Homo-oligomer: A and B are copies of this chain.
Amino acid sequence: MFTDMACFSAFVLPIWLLTKRRRNQREKGTKVKRVALANMPPLVNDLILRAARGEHVERPPVWMMRQAGRYLPEFRAKRLQTDFFTMCRTPTLACEVTLQPLERFPGLDALIIFSDILVIPQAMGMEVLMVKGKGPVFPAPLRDPDTDFAKLILEPDIDAELGYVFDAINVTRIQARGRVPLIGFTGAPWTLMAYMIEGGGSRTLHNAKRWLYTYPDLSRKLLEAITRIAIEYLVKQVQSGAQMLQVFESWAGELDTDCFRKFSLPYLTQIAKETKAKLSSIGLSVPITIFAKGANHALEDLSYSGYDVIGVDWVIDPKEARRCVGDRVTLQGNLDPGAMYAPKNVLKEKVADMIQNFGVQKYIVNLGWGMQPFMTPTMAGTFIDAVHEAVSRNE
């Protein structure tokens, strides 16, 4: 009674799809038996957690955004063998490169899990490739508000799709042996939406802007979906072992002040508040950092948005940043990444001045943006040493 095609559709295709789905889940999902939080090694250096909570510290903690990256030859050696997203998806590999900076620089006060903000668009069904010399590329970006949007998975199964991140965090937390806390992170809704629409980096973000201005309701729907995913994703990172969280709104500075208030700030606020509430309901609590690059106009608003720490870029004076946020939050940042290319003595002086201006309390030393591939381990070492030296000099 069945035609051959109908037979294929009714029996073979579903089984094949089911198997494919399971294969994907095995690929992306849990691979390791996770260790419970109660059984984790005790934390030796909790400096960054104390600073984030505004407690008294003997010196400001230091870490570097994108500290596990191409400036390290040991990272490049691993990358030669493996595709970028395969590294993210392989817990042992992600763990290994996450630990690399700490192995080299014991003066670091935190680890950040090796991953990428674009794993959320991937979980929503989008393909993302990391192309050499170009960065992330979406072969099929969101362009048509009807057909493309309809293909998006707005409520993905986070455990199935992003279980590999939780595994990587769990393994890394164990392997870190309590030396320093492990930071988990997510991309913020507007930044992820912009990537999904532009399909990669862009100087103008004109496709994403067209969406915001032309389809504000659909934009909100997308931003809300990403927000929900980000919250669940962050909570599960903590359940797996993350001891602190950071939200990256990398393209905050592309929005005008009105659009920032409409399309970024509400979702950032929701992420902080709901993540904290959900964690609290299961007896967990970690400090959360917001880094909204380029949104120095919004520092005051951000200081009321539920975050413990605000990361700032280098285009604001530390004292002015403190004036904007009062004593409500800890600040993190903000060395010009370009200063890493300075001679040692100049770099050390810049770091000392920065600490002087931010002050030792309620402050986490970092760059104003991530480490760059052209940097060298020596630069990173000098930066970290400078923090330790600046503080002992002040004593």
Contact = CB atoms under 8 A, between A and B. Distances in A.
A209 B316 contact: no
A343 B214 contact: yes
A148 interface: no
Contact of A338 (B212, B336, B343): B212
Nearest to A342: B213
A294 interface: yes
Contacts of A296: 296-297
Contacts of A353: 258
A342 B259 contact: no
Contacts of A255: 315, 336
A269 to B, nearest CB: 19
18 contacts: A206-B341, A206-B374, A209-B336, A209-B338, A213-B339, A213-B346, A213-B347, A214-B343, A255-B315, A255-B336, A256-B314, A256-B335, A256-B336, A256-B339, A259-B336, A294-B315, A297-B316, A297-B320
A213 B338 contact: yes
Contact of A317 (B257, B315, B336): B257
A213 B343 contact: yes
Interface in A229-265: 253-259
Given A257-B317, A297-B296, A297-B315, A372 B213 contact: no
Interface of A: 204-206, 208-210, 212-214, 253-259, 294-297, 314-317, 320, 334-339, 341-343, 346-347, 350, 353, 368, 372, 374
A294 to B, nearest CB: 6
A350 B316 CA distance: 27
B253 A315 contact: yes
A320 B212 CA distance: 24
Given A294-B315, A297-B320, A338 B372 contact: no
Interface of A is mostly: helix
Given A204-B374, A213-B338, 8 more contacts: A204-B337, A206-B338, A209-B342, A210-B341, A214-B343, A254-B338, A256-B314, A258-B353
Contacts of A372: 204, 206
Contacts of A350: 258
A215 to B, nearest CB: 10
B213 A257 contact: no
A34 to B, nearest CB: 38
A258 to B, nearest CB: 8
Most buried by B among A205, A212, A341: A341
Given A213-B346, A374-B204, A257 B316 contact: yes
Nearest to A317: B257
A234 to B, nearest CB: 27
* 9 tightest A-B CB contacts, nearest first: A209-B338, A213-B342, A210-B341, A256-B336, A256-B314, A257-B317, A213-B346, A204-B372, A206-B374
A296 B372 CA distance: 25
A341 B209 CA distance: 7
Nearest to A215: B343
Contacts of A213: 338-339, 341-343, 346-347
